[in-house]
Amino acid sequence: MKKHLFYSNQILWITLILAASGCQSRRGALQARGTAPATSASSTIPSISKEAGQKIVTSTGLPYWPPGPVYMVDAPTGFEKVALLPPLTSVPPMQVPPPLLNPPPRPFRLPKFSNEWVEASKSWMGTPYRVGGQSRNGIDCSGYAAQLHLDVNKTALPHTTSAQRDISVAIGIGTFQPGDLLFFNTQGEGNPTHVGVYLGERMFTHAGASSGVTTASLDDSYWASRFLGARRINR
Protein backbone atom coordinates (compact mmCIF):
# COMPACT_ATOMS: atom_id res chain seq x y z
CA MET A 1 0.00 0.00 0.00
CA LYS A 2 2.81 2.40 0.91
CA LYS A 3 4.63 1.49 -2.31
CA HIS A 4 1.52 2.25 -4.34
CA LEU A 5 1.17 5.70 -2.76
CA PHE A 6 4.82 6.38 -3.42
CA TYR A 7 4.53 5.68 -7.14
CA SER A 8 1.33 7.72 -7.36
CA ASN A 9 3.06 10.73 -5.86
CA GLN A 10 5.98 10.29 -8.25
CA ILE A 11 3.64 10.25 -11.29
CA LEU A 12 1.81 13.36 -10.07
CA TRP A 13 5.06 15.29 -9.64
CA ILE A 14 6.31 14.28 -13.08
CA THR A 15 3.01 15.42 -14.67
CA LEU A 16 3.18 18.82 -12.99
CA ILE A 17 6.80 19.32 -14.05
CA LEU A 18 6.02 18.48 -17.69
CA ALA A 19 3.00 20.81 -17.74
CA ALA A 20 5.02 23.71 -16.34
CA SER A 21 7.77 23.06 -18.87
CA GLY A 22 5.29 23.12 -21.77
CA CYS A 23 3.73 26.44 -20.71
CA GLN A 24 7.15 28.06 -20.38
CA SER A 25 8.14 26.77 -23.82
CA ARG A 26 5.01 28.23 -25.46
CA ARG A 27 5.45 31.58 -23.71
CA GLY A 28 9.09 31.68 -24.76
CA ALA A 29 8.22 30.96 -28.38
CA LEU A 30 5.60 33.73 -28.44
CA GLN A 31 8.03 36.20 -26.87
CA ALA A 32 10.64 35.25 -29.47
CA ARG A 33 8.18 36.18 -32.22
CA GLY A 34 7.16 39.37 -30.42
CA THR A 35 3.56 38.22 -30.04
CA ALA A 36 3.38 37.37 -26.34
CA PRO A 37 -0.24 37.40 -25.14
CA ALA A 38 -1.28 40.46 -23.21
CA THR A 39 -2.23 40.10 -19.56
CA SER A 40 -5.10 42.58 -19.72
CA ALA A 41 -8.41 42.32 -21.56
CA SER A 42 -8.13 46.01 -22.45
CA SER A 43 -5.18 45.49 -24.82
CA THR A 44 -5.22 47.60 -27.95
CA ILE A 45 -6.65 45.79 -30.96
CA PRO A 46 -4.24 46.06 -33.92
CA SER A 47 -5.56 47.59 -37.09
CA ILE A 48 -4.29 44.61 -39.09
CA SER A 49 -3.08 41.14 -38.03
CA LYS A 50 -0.32 40.02 -40.36
CA GLU A 51 0.36 36.61 -38.86
CA ALA A 52 -1.60 33.71 -37.45
CA GLY A 53 -1.56 33.11 -33.73
CA GLN A 54 -1.70 36.79 -32.72
CA LYS A 55 -3.99 37.48 -29.82
CA ILE A 56 -7.14 39.50 -30.44
CA VAL A 57 -9.42 40.66 -27.66
CA THR A 58 -13.04 40.34 -28.70
CA SER A 59 -15.90 42.61 -27.64
CA THR A 60 -16.67 40.17 -24.82
CA GLY A 61 -13.19 40.69 -23.34
CA LEU A 62 -12.09 37.12 -24.10
CA PRO A 63 -8.81 36.49 -25.97
CA TYR A 64 -8.81 34.81 -29.39
CA TRP A 65 -5.90 33.44 -31.42
CA PRO A 66 -7.00 33.20 -35.09
CA PRO A 67 -5.53 30.32 -37.09
CA GLY A 68 -4.70 32.57 -40.04
CA PRO A 69 -4.18 36.24 -40.97
CA VAL A 70 -7.03 38.54 -40.02
CA TYR A 71 -7.51 41.78 -41.97
CA MET A 72 -9.52 44.13 -39.80
CA VAL A 73 -9.20 47.31 -41.89
CA ASP A 74 -7.77 46.83 -45.36
CA ALA A 75 -8.49 43.97 -47.74
CA PRO A 76 -5.56 41.91 -49.06
CA THR A 77 -3.85 42.97 -52.28
CA GLY A 78 -5.76 41.88 -55.37
CA PHE A 79 -9.09 41.61 -53.54
CA GLU A 80 -11.87 42.02 -56.11
CA LYS A 81 -14.82 44.14 -55.11
CA VAL A 82 -18.08 42.92 -56.63
CA ALA A 83 -21.10 45.26 -56.79
CA LEU A 84 -24.09 43.58 -55.17
CA LEU A 85 -26.63 45.82 -56.92
CA PRO A 86 -26.49 47.37 -60.39
CA PRO A 87 -26.11 51.16 -60.58
CA LEU A 88 -29.30 53.18 -60.62
CA THR A 89 -28.64 54.28 -64.20
CA SER A 90 -29.23 50.70 -65.35
CA VAL A 91 -32.72 50.52 -63.83
CA PRO A 92 -35.34 50.75 -66.61
CA PRO A 93 -37.57 53.85 -66.41
CA MET A 94 -41.02 53.47 -64.89
CA GLN A 95 -43.77 53.11 -67.44
CA VAL A 96 -46.46 55.69 -66.63
CA PRO A 97 -49.83 54.90 -68.24
CA PRO A 98 -51.36 57.74 -70.27
CA PRO A 99 -54.15 59.75 -68.61
CA LEU A 100 -57.63 58.34 -69.02
CA LEU A 101 -59.50 60.63 -71.40
CA ASN A 102 -62.61 58.54 -71.92
CA PRO A 103 -64.64 57.24 -68.98
CA PRO A 104 -64.43 53.50 -68.32
CA PRO A 105 -67.43 51.61 -69.68
CA ARG A 106 -70.16 51.06 -67.10
CA PRO A 107 -73.64 49.59 -67.44
CA PHE A 108 -76.18 52.38 -67.27
CA ARG A 109 -78.30 52.67 -64.14
CA LEU A 110 -81.70 54.28 -64.25
CA PRO A 111 -82.49 56.84 -61.54
CA LYS A 112 -84.80 55.75 -58.74
CA PHE A 113 -86.84 58.94 -59.18
CA SER A 114 -88.93 60.06 -62.12
CA ASN A 115 -89.58 63.28 -64.01
CA GLU A 116 -90.13 64.24 -67.64
CA TRP A 117 -86.38 64.28 -68.36
CA VAL A 118 -85.86 60.82 -66.88
CA GLU A 119 -88.76 59.41 -68.89
CA ALA A 120 -87.51 61.03 -72.11
CA SER A 121 -84.01 59.57 -71.62
CA LYS A 122 -85.21 55.97 -71.12
CA SER A 123 -85.93 55.40 -74.80
CA TRP A 124 -82.40 56.51 -75.68
CA MET A 125 -80.54 54.22 -73.27
CA GLY A 126 -77.99 52.00 -75.03
CA THR A 127 -77.90 54.05 -78.24
CA PRO A 128 -74.33 53.77 -79.62
CA TYR A 129 -72.03 56.76 -79.81
CA ARG A 130 -71.29 58.24 -83.23
CA VAL A 131 -69.56 61.56 -83.92
CA GLY A 132 -72.04 63.90 -85.61
CA GLY A 133 -74.92 61.44 -85.15
CA GLN A 134 -78.44 62.62 -84.36
CA SER A 135 -80.52 59.44 -84.48
CA ARG A 136 -81.02 56.23 -82.53
CA ASN A 137 -78.57 54.53 -84.88
CA GLY A 138 -75.81 56.65 -83.36
CA ILE A 139 -75.51 59.98 -81.58
CA ASP A 140 -72.86 62.15 -79.91
CA CYS A 141 -73.03 64.11 -76.66
CA SER A 142 -74.18 67.48 -78.03
CA GLY A 143 -76.61 65.82 -80.43
CA TYR A 144 -78.14 63.86 -77.54
CA ALA A 145 -78.51 67.00 -75.40
CA ALA A 146 -80.21 68.74 -78.32
CA GLN A 147 -82.60 65.80 -78.90
CA LEU A 148 -83.68 65.68 -75.23
CA HIS A 149 -84.42 69.41 -75.22
CA LEU A 150 -86.37 68.98 -78.44
CA ASP A 151 -88.37 66.04 -76.98
CA VAL A 152 -89.18 67.72 -73.64
CA ASN A 153 -89.21 71.48 -74.27
CA LYS A 154 -89.63 71.59 -78.05
CA THR A 155 -86.52 73.77 -78.06
CA ALA A 156 -83.96 73.45 -80.84
CA LEU A 157 -80.32 73.62 -79.74
CA PRO A 158 -77.19 73.88 -81.90
CA HIS A 159 -75.28 70.66 -82.48
CA THR A 160 -71.90 71.54 -80.91
CA THR A 161 -70.77 71.69 -77.29
CA SER A 162 -69.25 75.15 -77.64
CA ALA A 163 -72.39 76.59 -79.28
CA GLN A 164 -74.60 75.14 -76.54
CA ARG A 165 -72.35 76.79 -73.97
CA ASP A 166 -72.57 80.15 -75.74
CA ILE A 167 -76.39 80.27 -75.80
CA SER A 168 -76.81 79.19 -72.15
CA VAL A 169 -76.41 81.02 -68.84
CA ALA A 170 -74.13 79.89 -66.00
CA ILE A 171 -75.85 78.78 -62.77
CA GLY A 172 -74.65 77.86 -59.30
CA ILE A 173 -74.27 74.31 -58.01
CA GLY A 174 -77.06 74.68 -55.47
CA THR A 175 -79.55 75.77 -58.13
CA PHE A 176 -79.37 72.81 -60.55
CA GLN A 177 -82.68 71.85 -62.17
CA PRO A 178 -83.58 68.93 -64.48
CA GLY A 179 -82.73 69.85 -68.07
CA ASP A 180 -79.69 72.01 -67.20
CA LEU A 181 -76.60 71.40 -69.34
CA LEU A 182 -73.50 70.04 -67.56
CA PHE A 183 -70.13 70.72 -69.19
CA PHE A 184 -66.96 68.66 -68.74
CA ASN A 185 -63.34 68.79 -69.83
CA THR A 186 -62.33 65.30 -70.98
CA GLN A 187 -59.37 66.15 -73.25
CA GLY A 188 -57.00 67.87 -70.83
CA GLU A 189 -57.84 71.37 -72.07
CA GLY A 190 -59.58 74.35 -70.53
CA ASN A 191 -62.59 74.39 -72.82
CA PRO A 192 -65.59 72.06 -72.45
CA THR A 193 -65.35 68.96 -74.64
CA HIS A 194 -68.36 67.01 -73.34
CA VAL A 195 -71.92 67.86 -72.35
CA GLY A 196 -74.66 66.05 -70.46
CA VAL A 197 -78.20 66.81 -69.27
CA TYR A 198 -78.99 67.04 -65.55
CA LEU A 199 -81.78 64.69 -64.34
CA GLY A 200 -81.89 65.49 -60.63
CA GLU A 201 -80.34 64.22 -57.38
CA ARG A 202 -76.83 64.77 -58.82
CA MET A 203 -77.44 62.36 -61.70
CA PHE A 204 -77.18 63.19 -65.40
CA THR A 205 -77.56 61.49 -68.77
CA HIS A 206 -75.10 61.77 -71.64
CA ALA A 207 -73.74 60.01 -74.74
CA GLY A 208 -70.28 58.69 -73.85
CA ALA A 209 -67.68 57.72 -76.45
CA SER A 210 -67.09 54.34 -74.77
CA SER A 211 -70.56 53.69 -73.36
CA GLY A 212 -73.10 55.25 -75.69
CA VAL A 213 -76.16 56.84 -74.09
CA THR A 214 -76.14 56.17 -70.35
CA THR A 215 -76.57 57.80 -66.95
CA ALA A 216 -73.91 58.78 -64.44
CA SER A 217 -73.43 60.62 -61.16
CA LEU A 218 -71.66 63.89 -60.51
CA ASP A 219 -70.15 62.17 -57.45
CA ASP A 220 -68.29 59.72 -59.71
CA SER A 221 -64.56 60.48 -59.31
CA TYR A 222 -64.03 60.58 -63.08
CA TRP A 223 -66.73 63.13 -63.74
CA ALA A 224 -66.21 65.13 -60.54
CA SER A 225 -62.57 65.80 -61.48
CA ARG A 226 -63.55 66.97 -65.00
CA PHE A 227 -66.69 68.97 -64.20
CA LEU A 228 -66.50 72.61 -65.39
CA GLY A 229 -69.96 73.87 -64.44
CA ALA A 230 -73.65 73.94 -65.31
CA ARG A 231 -75.58 76.28 -67.61
CA ARG A 232 -79.28 76.80 -68.35
CA ILE A 233 -81.16 77.37 -71.59
CA ASN A 234 -83.39 80.45 -71.37
CA ARG A 235 -86.83 79.69 -72.78
Residues 183-206: tens digit of each pLDDT? 999 887 778 999 999 999 999 999
**So what's the pLDDT on residue 36?**
47
Using pLDDT thresholds of 50, 70 and 90, give the confidence band for residue 40: very low
| Segment holding 21, helix H or strand E | helix 2-32
Mean pLDDT of 91-105: 59
Residue 34 or residue 214, greater confidence: 214
Q: What distance in Å separates the CA atoms of residue 34 and residue 145, rounded to the nearest whole number?
A: 101
Active site residue 141: yes
Residue type, 229: G
- 49-84 as b/e: b if 16+ CB within 10 A: beeeebbebeeeeeeeeeeeeeeeeeeeeeeeeeee
Residue 164 or residue 87, greater confidence: 164
**So what's the pLDDT on residue 46?**
43
| Of 229, 223, 225, 235, residue with least CA distance to 170 | 229
Q: What pTM did the predictor assign?
A: 0.55
Active site residue 23: no
**So what's the pLDDT on residue 139?**
95
- Check: CB of residue 61 under 8 Å from CB of residue 45: no
Given 4, 23, 141, 149, which residue is catalytic?
Answer: 141
Q: Could you tell me the residue ranges of all domains in the chain?
A: 116-233
| 125-180 per-position pLDDT tens digit | 989 999 999 899 999 999 999 999 999 999 999 999 999 999 999 998 789 999 99
| Percent residues over pLDDT 70 in the chain | 54
In the CATH scheme, what is the code of domain 116-233? 3.90.1720.10
Residue 188 or residue 7, greater confidence: 188
